[in-house]
Amino acid sequence: MSEQRLRIGFLSALDPKDKRAWSGTYYYTSQALQQHCGEVIYINPKEAQPTETKAFYKKLRVFVKKQFAFSPLFSLGRKYFVYNYRIFTAKRFAKSANIQLRELPLDVIVAAASTSEVAFVETDIPIVLVEDATFAVLHDYYPQYSKLPKSIVREMNKLSNTAIHKASLLIYSSTWAAESAIEDYGAKREQVHVVPMGANIDAAPAKERLLSKKDTDTCRLLFIGFDWQRKGGDIAFETLLKLEERGIPTELVVCGCVPPASCRHPHMKIIPFLDKNDPAQNAEFEQLYLSSHFLLLPTRNECFGIVFCEANAFGLPVIATATGGTSETVKDGENGFLLPLEARGDAYATIIAELFRDEQRYHALVQSSRAAYENRLNWDAWGHSVATYIMALMKVPSGRGI
């Protein structure tokens, strides 16, 4: 191999240059690889499909809509398994990727959240699979992966198994997911590594701006999520009520969804959507972090929690649920607290009230939350760690490509 930087084929299911794709995770992953590992060349199986293949998918979408328009499986099929997690579509993705790979002199392929896209790729180039979950941990955990037909479960497991064993290196964002790759799919432990993801922001605010958070007697809670039910919105609403019962003036800002009509309160503000690609809306989004005291997210299902990293970048402690991969992101007493899945609003109100009333303890938590972002929950830290593993895989002397 030459002494030039590694040439990295970045294979992703969606456009990595679009900050809306996977909430910006594709974009920031590719940027971290570009900065710390080598030259990134984008490979998108969907975008590069031949005209006849694109026509096929258009017809497939129409067919699925007609077949499942009145079935609860319609949204599942359209979004989750009819396209991405069926073997025949995975092979079509691979056919498109193979054409691109034959024309590109690459040293390594990084497949980001693209298990099915990479499963049938034909190449001798080493593959690094970057994921926040395996199908085994998603199955019957997330609503959209529950009550699936057995045939679909078999196909999804086959695709996952094929991709995992095709990869030379597996990077997961949590121990929860990494252990599944080993225990459920037989991945070699020495090939599996846990590297927490980072905050999907371009820059964190200066630390000085974080120290004025407690300059008010009103406790400001921030809830972010597009799915009110899955993110535990009803529990967040209960928390607002319980804090006010305790005599603590409280405000709850809901960003990203519209709660049901039964969840309304004079001290509740609803922001249905903010586009982080728009500078003005992104500035408003950042101001929400800066002006809040806690990120409150009693989520029912979570693979990692990029939003937790973002909150910590703004010195915002996280109060969330111990479920899925959240314990990789939030460490009790360091950057927030995790409560049991069965905890309701009263339990969340208790911990928030204790922290809010203890100014010294709260300020210490603000500072340690920011430190968690600076030390481990940012894309630079991710890039450094992944670069080390990739260089070891490629048997490249330490320092090359960094």
Question: Strand, coil or helix: what is 202?
Answer: coil
Using one digit for the tens of pLDDT, what is the confidence trace for 164-181?
999 999 999 999 999 999
Query: Is pLDDT at 62 greater than 70 in this prediction?
Result: no
Residue % of the chain over a pLDDT of 90 = 74
pLDDT band at 85; cut points 50, 70, 90: low
pLDDT of residue 206: 92
Distance CA 356, CA 363 (A): 9
Q: Pick the closest to residue 203 from 115, 310, 131 (CA basis).
A: 310
Query: Is pLDDT at 222 greater than 70 in this prediction?
Result: yes
Phi, psi of 220 (to 5 degrees): -105, 120
Distance CA 197, CA 9 (A): 20
Q: Which residue has the higher pLDDT, 395 or 120?
A: 120
Tokens of 33: 């690889």
Question: Strand, coil or helix: what is 269?
Answer: strand
Query: Is pLDDT at 60 greater than 70 in this prediction?
Result: no
pLDDT of residue 77: 37
Read off the pLDDT of each residue in 5-26 and give the average, rounded to a whole number: 89
Q: Which residue has the higher pLDDT, 20 or 367?
A: 367
Using one digit for the tens of pLDDT, what is the confidence trace for 223-267?
999 999 999 999 999 999 999 999 999 999 999 999 999 999 999
Read off the pLDDT of each residue in 50-64 and give the average, rounded to a whole number: 53
Query: Is pLDDT at 142 greater than 70 in this prediction?
Result: yes
pLDDT of residue 240: 98
Question: What is the pLDDT of the chain when averaged over all its residues?
Answer: 89
Distance CA 60, CA 261 (A): 36
Distance CA 383, CA 402 (A): 9
pLDDT of residue 75: 42
Using one digit for the tens of pLDDT, what is the confidence trace for 335-376?
999 999 999 999 999 999 999 999 999 999 999 999 999 999
pLDDT of residue 68: 42
- CB neighbours of 209 closer than 8 A, spacing ≥ 6? 290
pLDDT band at 397; cut points 50, 70, 90: low
pLDDT band at 21; cut points 50, 70, 90: confident
What are the structural domains, with CATH classification, of the chain? 6-198+378-393 (3.40.50.2000), 207-375 (3.40.50.2000)
Q: Pick the closest to residue 379 from 127, 41, 27, 132 (CA basis).
A: 27
> Is residue 273 a contact partner of residue 256, using CB atoms and an 8 Å limit?
yes
pLDDT of residue 366: 96
Q: How far is the CA of 315 from the CAs of 141, 252, 271, in angstroms?
A: 30, 18, 22
Q: Which H/E stretch holds residue 75?
A: helix 73-76
Query: Is pLDDT at 401 greater than 60 in this prediction?
Result: no
Assessment of whether the complete model's pTM goes beyond 0.85: yes
pLDDT band at 71; cut points 50, 70, 90: very low
Phi, psi of 178 (to 5 degrees): -60, -45
- CB neighbours of 311 closer than 8 A, spacing ≥ 6? 222, 289, 295, 317, 318, 369
- CB neighbours of 320 closer than 8 A, spacing ≥ 6? 295, 296, 297, 298, 299, 302, 305, 308, 326, 330, 336, 337, 338, 339
Read off the pLDDT of each residue in 197-211 and give the average, rounded to a whole number: 90
Using one digit for the tens of pLDDT, what is the confidence trace for 263-288?
999 999 999 999 888 899 999 999 99
pLDDT of residue 92: 86
Q: Pick the closest to residue 335 from 316, 360, 357 (CA basis).
A: 316
pLDDT of residue 139: 95
